[in-house]
């Protein structure tokens, strides 16, 4: 167990709707990153938050946004859902903006299906 | 841009035997890290082994070891004495030192036969 928990585990949304996914990071970890893993693919980096500020972003449109709270938990918000947004969304936490060893610890993910 | 390629979609190994999973990568960075992650049906990505690019010595973790060939940009994972619990998707990943942005390959599904 990595101590990173995500909710909900599964959810189904309709195209055009909005969704919020939540992540509670491992105790003491102040950095959270989010990844999208489409079926049969490896995870792709969405963005990263350090001390409540976004400090790195992958190739995802602005309708993917996030928040990090003072307790370092995080949310991923996706607006105007598209069918291609159907994927496993993984949260990962770590300590520090410049990680020693670059090691991150993943949660079990949230399965999003857009119909 | 960094890329990671895993050319074996699926591999099988007999229990107690040894298997090697292949990974090649491309990066212009001089300081980077390489990883192997295991993703069982529970979906949680579990770190198997990590290699710092500046270290020549191959990393080992119990039954897991890597063959890191920096000049060839190759990073293969060897699993010795394979166990049924090793069955999972295995992902190779790289990241530039000082960032959390991982670049993952497409994965290799490992089946362990009893």
pLDDT in tens, chain B (114 residues): 789 999 999 999 999 999 999 999 999 888 899 999 999 988 889 999 999 998 888 999 999 999 999 999 999 999 999 999 999 999 999 998 877 789 999 999 999 999
| Statement: residue A75 has pLDDT above 70 | yes
| Statement: residue A1 has pLDDT above 90 | no
Sheet order of strands, A64-68 included: A5-7, A19-24, A74-78, A64-68
B4 to chain A, any CB pair closer than 8 A? The answer is: yes
Residue B109: per-residue pLDDT: 97
Q: Are A77 and A86 in contact (CB under 8 A)?
A: no
| Statement: residue A59 has pLDDT above 70 | yes
Compute the distance between CA of residue B38 and CA of residue B45 in angstroms, rounded to an integer. 6
CA closest to A106 among chain B residues: B45
- Collect all residues of chain A within an 8 Å Cβ-Cβ radius of residue B4: 42
Q: What count of CB pairs under 8 Å joins A to B?
A: 67
Helix (H) or strand (E) holding A57: strand A53-57
Sign of CA dihedral A46, A32, A50, A78: positive
Radius of gyration of chain B (CA): 13
A29 against A115, higher pLDDT = A115
What residues contact residue A7 under an 8 Å CB cut-off, 6+ apart? A21, A22, A110
DSSP bridge pairs for B13? B112
Test mutation, B27, B29, B38, B45, chain A, max A CBs within 10 A: B45
Contact A99 B43 (CB under 8 A): no
Contact B102 A35 (CB under 8 A): yes
Residue with tokens 């936490």: A93
């Amino acid at each position: 167990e990595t101590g990173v928990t995500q909710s909900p585990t599964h959810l189904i949304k309709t195209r055009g709707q909005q969704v919020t996914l939540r992540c509670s990071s491992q105790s003491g970890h102040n950095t959270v990153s989010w990844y999208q893993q489409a079926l049969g693919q490896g995870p792709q980096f969405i963005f990263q938050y350090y001390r409540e500020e976004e400090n790195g972003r992958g190739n995802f449109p602005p309708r993917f946004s996030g928040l990090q709270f003072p307790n370092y938990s995080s949310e991923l918000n996706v607006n105007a859902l598209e069918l291609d947004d159907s994927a496993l969304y993984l949260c990962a936490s770590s300590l520090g903006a410049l990680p020693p060893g670059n090691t991150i610890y993943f949660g079990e993910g949230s399965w999003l299906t857009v119909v | 841009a960094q890329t990671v390629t895993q050319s074996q979609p699926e591999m099988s190994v007999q229990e107690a035997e040894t298997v090697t999973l292949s990974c090649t990568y491309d990066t212009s960075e001089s300081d980077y890290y390489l990883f192997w992650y295991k993703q069982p049906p529970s979906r949680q990505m579990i770190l198997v082994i990590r290699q710092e690019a500046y270290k020549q010595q191959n990393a080992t973790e119990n039954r897991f070891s890597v063959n890191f060939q920096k000049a060839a940009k190759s990073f293969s994972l060897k699993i010795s004495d394979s166990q049924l619990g090793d069955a999972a998707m295995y992902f190779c990943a790289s990241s530039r030192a000082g960032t959390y942005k991982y670049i993952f390959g497409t994965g290799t599904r490992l089946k362990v036969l009893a």
